[in-house]
Amino acid sequence: MARQTGDDLVDADLQLDEQEIEAALRPKRLAEFIGQHRVREQLTLILEAARLRERSPDHVLLSGPPGLGKTTLAMIVAAELGMPLRVTSGPAIQHAGDLAALLSSLSEGEVLFLDEIHRMARPAEEMLYMAMEDFRVDVIVGKGPGATAIPLEIPPFTLVGATTRAGLLPGPLRDRFGFTAHMDFYSPGELEQVLRRSAGLLGVPLAEAGASEIAGRSRGTPRIANRLLRRVRDYAQVRADGVVTVEIAEAALTLYDVDAMGLDRLDRAVLDALVRRFGGGPVGLSTLAVAVGEETETVEEVAEPFLVRAGLLARTPRGRVATAAAWSHLGLVAPAGGLIGNGPAAAQVELFDDAP
């Protein structure tokens, strides 16, 4: 049996503190939830109608990028209904038996939150169809010709599914949700509201200009905004008088490698490699990942979405290409000829890289 060291225990305590802080910052009711006005209004109507009918509301699917509040909304749905919440995730359900055991343990009216629902195994997914529609699952006993299906009734429940990739959900599963909502990125003004609320809960004196500076570097994402606020708070307490001003926010975020557009170390490394080493592209994903010392999945799923949304990078059939805005952000002048770089490395990459 492995023995925990003092450092391991300290790291565990720090992680627990971070989790407790995140939980404390989550709004508990729809009235406290900032942003996503249309989704909030639609959910309010659905939950109120279910309460009036004294029935479980329709199943809910929440889609959108990470950090926008899907888990928080699932918790709020359970709180508004006054029902317990059961939490699991798609990768945790790899067999139909896992899902059957979970569903059979639900109580009537309970809310089941299934995060990353698109990553659930296909056999479990097919069992979920019947459970969502008929509140019944068939448990197969035995194998081969002698196998028997035993119907198992389950109490009415509400499934709240969350996904960052709604396009990967099969049509039959998507159609069984009575309400589907897409979460949008937050505006800077909405992020400032989130930051002011979080600062109040954390007891952090936050100047208006300081909130604006943090919001502008938060990528339109409340989770990132709250994380940056905690780091700026640390800086303000250690190196200043504890008040988060615009000067303190700028100094702290510069220290933590978050620039004025919200780009972090990995984002800038990708842009720098694309522009300085490969003449702006086109360059294949695998080559770009090797150039920055990261896995291809990390570059594609962590860095690229924001770089594309910010207009700094473009995906083309020939590979990744830096836009004129990317050159400008790095303090360089884009070459003539549009988005496509015309350096010698670009031609070589195009010929030999098989991962566009």
Structural domain boundaries in the chain: 27-182, 188-255, 265-352
Pick the CATH number of 265-352 from 2.130.10.10, 1.10.10.10, 3.20.20.70, 3.30.1330.10: 1.10.10.10
Q: Do domains 27-182 and 188-255 have the same CATH topology?
A: no
Is there a contact between 112 and 177 (Cβ–Cβ < 8 Å)?
no
* CATH class of the structural domain 188-255: mainly alpha
The residues annotated with a catalytic role in the active site are 70-71, 115, 164, 223
pLDDT digits (tens), the chain, 356 positions? 444 444 544 444 444 466 666 677 888 898 889 989 999 999 999 999 988 888 889 999 999 988 998 999 999 999 999 999 999 988 888 888 788 888 888 888 899 999 999 888 888 888 888 888 888 877 666 565 656 667 778 888 999 999 988 888 888 888 889 999 999 999 999 999 999 999 998 888 999 999 999 999 999 999 999 999 999 999 999 988 889 999 999 999 999 989 888 888 898 998 988 998 888 878 888 888 888 888 988 888 888 888 898 889 988 888 899 989 989 888 888 776 555 444 443 433 333 344 44
Contact by Cβ (8 Å): 332, 275: yes
Token pair of 244 as six digits: 């988060």
Residue bearing tokens 């889609």: 63
Spatial distance between the Cα atoms of 234 and 17, rounded to a whole number of angstroms: 14
Q: Distance between CA 150 and CA 188 in Å, rounded?
A: 54
Which CATH architecture best describes the domain 27-182?
A: 3-Layer(aba) Sandwich (3.40)
Q: In sequence order, what DSSP letters do the residues of 75-131 get, joined into one string?
A: HHHHHHHT--EEEEEGGG--SHHHHHHHHHTPPTT-EEEEETGGGS-HHHHHHHHHH
